[in-house]
């Protein structure tokens, strides 16, 4: 239930005294609790774990009036959802699954559950501050790159804009800014959209759809349905990926404002009402707009050239830039602002990030590729690959990815405590490619051959010690790679079986490669 309490809108709404439970004391939960305390709500914060950081955040929240903060495994079970002390509203962090016990109870007791995004949309900017345009985007992959580019395009156009939501500044901090923003570039995850009602944004985009988080949503259909919610009520432009028919169908099915347009983006030659890329006579690839101009049937506006990105501009980066440009153009940004942002773009860490080159072997960190669709983008960027992959699969299927990239693979090294599913796909669809690793972790006592005997490589690769696993993978890659090849860490899986995050996994790769390049002390 996301649409209840229609009276709770605006800063002058009847918030005082409303009992609200905030689930999770991360960045999102902290900003939600702080905001609700300012509104005069009776807030209880619940988090299933207790860390020094959360204890410090709890102390800060108590200073601003949030007295009921419950941390630890028992806290969630002790939250009453029936009776005088039951919350009238729940604000949840993205990590709480719909099939969790507390969410099931909330549904049974008809307690509305909102995301922080919905709370921010209900509130709007502070009285006296400028009300921002909302430009929102989601997708299986490319969200962070696109929203970062969008922020830069808007700022280059002279707007006070900020990237927020699932990246950067919490959205509740953005809407509480005393001055306010002209525009919010909002990255949204499928988790956030699940707990969010219609946002009615100025413009919206779905970058792509591929199998991901099926375990969280219960089915691929549920995942797609939550992503599609982003288009509801859009006022000016629903941006879709021409190469992904699912996103176009989402737009066709969406209930949008009168006059809202469907705008496609493509890395091929664009049709009318699209942004795309054309090849000039001098051989340059030009990014063009055939959507936001009067004579779009016969003309196109030049936005940038591919070389504006620098020496390395893979296809997916161009696609992301075109999607960002479509959103920025919907908000009135001029072509010069689009080009300025592209020229100043710097790729983020852990996404197709070159980290070393020696003996004509390129080492690339793509740890942010946490699903097959993301990994396909980097695997398609190189021709001869020693692939380091594996981790938590999140309920996805690897067959299509392996079939697509098999001709590029020379060796595969699988990390992860259980990458047997990926190994099985490789054995079926790339039987000619040698594979190391991919088994299931056994008990830690499996290696009892002697205290001075190092464990076998297969055991190291699937060890819960991510650092040891990555060192073993890099060492194997160094032994196997030959001149002209690329050693690519692109896991196509989540990291939490061996690492704290995809960033920690990427850093472990960078450190292992650096140690290899330095040689023995």
Q: Kindly report the three-state secondary structure assignment for every residue of 354-412.
A: EEEEECCEEEEECCCCCCHHHHHHHHCCCCCEEEEECCECCCCCCHHHHHHHHHHEEEE
Q: Do 159 and 108 fall within a single domain? A: no
Last residue of a domain, one of 308, 343, 378: 343
Q: Do 301 and 406 fall within a single domain? A: no
Residue 454: its pLDDT value, please? 60
Q: Which residues contact 367 (CB under 8 A, 6 or more apart)?
A: 350, 489, 490, 491, 495, 502, 503, 505, 506, 509
Whole-angstrom Cα distance, residue 207 to residue 164?
17
Q: Is 14 among the domain residues?
A: no
Q: Is 496 among the domain residues?
A: yes
Last residue of a domain, one of 325, 343, 361: 343
Q: Which one is predicted more confidently, 2 or 61?
A: 61
Residue 520 has pLDDT above 70, yes or no: no
The answer to whether 40 is annotated as binding is no
The answer to whether 143 is annotated as binding is yes
Q: Which one is predicted more confidently, 51 or 153?
A: 153
Return the CATH number at 96.
Answer: 3.40.50.720
The answer to whether 141 is annotated as binding is yes
Q: Is 7 among the domain residues?
A: no
Q: Do 428 and 511 fall within a single domain? A: yes
Look-up of token digits 């067959």:
399
Residue 91 has pLDDT above 60, yes or no: yes
Residue 519 has pLDDT above 80, yes or no: no
Residue 450: its pLDDT value, please? 43
Q: Is 11 among the domain residues?
A: no
Q: Do 80 and 104 fall within a single domain? A: yes
The answer to whether 395 is annotated as binding is no
Q: Do 396 and 267 fall within a single domain? A: no
Residue 402 has pLDDT above 70, yes or no: yes
Give the relative orientation of helices 335-343 and 143-156 as an angle to the nearest 10 degrees. Answer: 120
Q: Do 357 and 335 fall within a single domain? A: no
Mean per-residue pLDDT for 156-167? 95
Q: Do 337 and 402 fall within a single domain? A: no
Last residue of a domain, one of 80, 114, 148: 114
Q: What confidence tier does 521 reach under pLDDT thresholds 50, 70, 90?
A: very low
Q: What confidence tier does 157 reach under pLDDT thresholds 50, 70, 90?
A: very high
Q: Do 283 and 226 fall within a single domain? A: yes
Residue 127: its pLDDT value, please? 92
Q: Which one is predicted more confidently, 183 or 141?
A: 183
Domain holding 273, by residue range, is 120-343
> Which of the given ranges, 96-110, 300-314, 422-436, has the highest pLDDT on average?
422-436
Q: Do 268 and 374 fall within a single domain? A: no
Residue 172: its pLDDT value, please? 97
Q: Using one digit for the tens of pLDDT, what is the confidence trace for 326-383?
A: 999 999 999 999 999 999 988 767 888 888 989 999 999 999 999 998 899 889 889 8
Domain total in the chain: 3
Residue 448: its pLDDT value, please? 39
Q: Is 8 among the domain residues?
A: no
Q: Is 520 among the domain residues?
A: no
DSSP per residue over 173-224, as a string? HHHT-SSB-SEEEEE--HHHHHT------SEEEE----S--HHHHSSHHHHH
Q: Do 79 and 207 fall within a single domain? A: no
Phi, psi angles (nearest 5°) of residue 170: -55, 140
Q: Do 71 and 200 fall within a single domain? A: no
Mean per-residue pLDDT for 183-210? 94
Q: Do 246 and 359 fall within a single domain? A: no
Q: Which one is predicted more confidently, 86 or 310?
A: 86
The answer to whether 269 is annotated as binding is no
Q: Using one digit for the tens of pLDDT, what is the confidence trace for 97-117?
A: 888 888 889 999 999 999 999
Residues of the chain with pLDDT > 70: what percent?
95
């Amino acid at each position: 239930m996301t649409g209840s309490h229609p009276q709770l809108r605006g800063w002058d709404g009847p918030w005082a005294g409303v009992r609200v439970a905030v689930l999770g004391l991360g960045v999102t939960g902290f900003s939600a609790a702080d905001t609700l305390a300012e509104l005069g709500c009776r807030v209880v914060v619940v988090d299933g774990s207790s860390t020094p950081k959360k204890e410090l955040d709890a102390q800060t929240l108590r200073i601003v009036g949030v007295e009921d903060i419950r941390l630890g495994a028992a806290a969630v079970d002790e939250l009453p959802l029936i009776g005088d002390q039951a919350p009238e509203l729940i604000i949840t962090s993205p990590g709480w699954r719909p099939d969790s016990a507390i969410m099931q109870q909330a549904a049974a007791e008809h307690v509305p559950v909102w995301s922080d995004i919905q709370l921010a949309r209900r509130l709007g900017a502070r009285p006296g501050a400028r009300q921002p345009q909302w430009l929102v985007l989601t997708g299986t992959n490319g969200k962070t790159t696109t929203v970062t580019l969008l922020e830069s395009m808007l700022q280059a156009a002279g707007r006070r804009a900020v990237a927020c939501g699932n990246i950067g500044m919490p959205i509740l901090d953005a809407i509480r800014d005393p001055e306010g923003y002209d525009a919010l570039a909002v990255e949204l995850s499928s988790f956030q959209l699940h707990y969010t009602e219609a946002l009615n944004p100025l413009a919206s985009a779905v970058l792509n759809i591929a199998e991901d988080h099926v375990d969280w949503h219960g089915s691929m259909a549920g995942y797609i349905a939550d992503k599609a919610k982003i288009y509801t009520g859009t006022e000016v432009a629903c941006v879709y990926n021409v190469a992904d028919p699912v996103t176009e169908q989402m737009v066709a099915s969406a209930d949008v404002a009168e006059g809202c347009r469907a705008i496609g983006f493509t890395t091929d030659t664009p049709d009318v009402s699209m942004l795309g890329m054309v090849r000039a006579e001098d051989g340059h690839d030009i990014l063009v707009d055939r959507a936001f101009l009067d004579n779009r049937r016969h003309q196109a506006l030049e936005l940038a050239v591919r070389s504006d990105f620098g020496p390395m501009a893979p296809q997916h980066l161009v696609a992301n830039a075109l999607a960002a440009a479509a959103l920025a153009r919907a908000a009135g940004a001029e072509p010069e602002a689009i080009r300025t942002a592209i020229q100043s773009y710097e790729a983020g860490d852990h996404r197709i990030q070159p980290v070393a080159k020696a003996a004509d072997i390129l080492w690339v960190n793509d740890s942010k590729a946490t699903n097959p669709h993301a990994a396909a983008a980097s695997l398609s960027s190189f021709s001869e690959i020693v692939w380091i992959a594996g981790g938590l699969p999140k309920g996805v299927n690897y067959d299509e990815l392996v079939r697509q990239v098999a001709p590029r693979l020379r060796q595969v090294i699988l990390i992860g405590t259980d990458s047997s599913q990926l190994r099985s796909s490789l054995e079926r669809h790339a039987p000619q490619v040698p594979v190391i690793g991919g088994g299931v972790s056994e008990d830690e006592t499996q290696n009892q051959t002697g205290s001075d005997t190092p464990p076998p490589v297969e055991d190291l690769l699937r060890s819960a010690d991510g650092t040891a696993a990555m060192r073993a993978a890099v060492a194997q890659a160094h032994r196997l790679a030959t001149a002209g090849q690329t050693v690519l860490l692109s896991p196509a899986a989540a990291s939490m079986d061996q690492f704290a995050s995809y960033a920690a996994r990427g850093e472990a790769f960078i450190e292992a490669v650096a140690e290899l390049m330095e040689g023995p002390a």
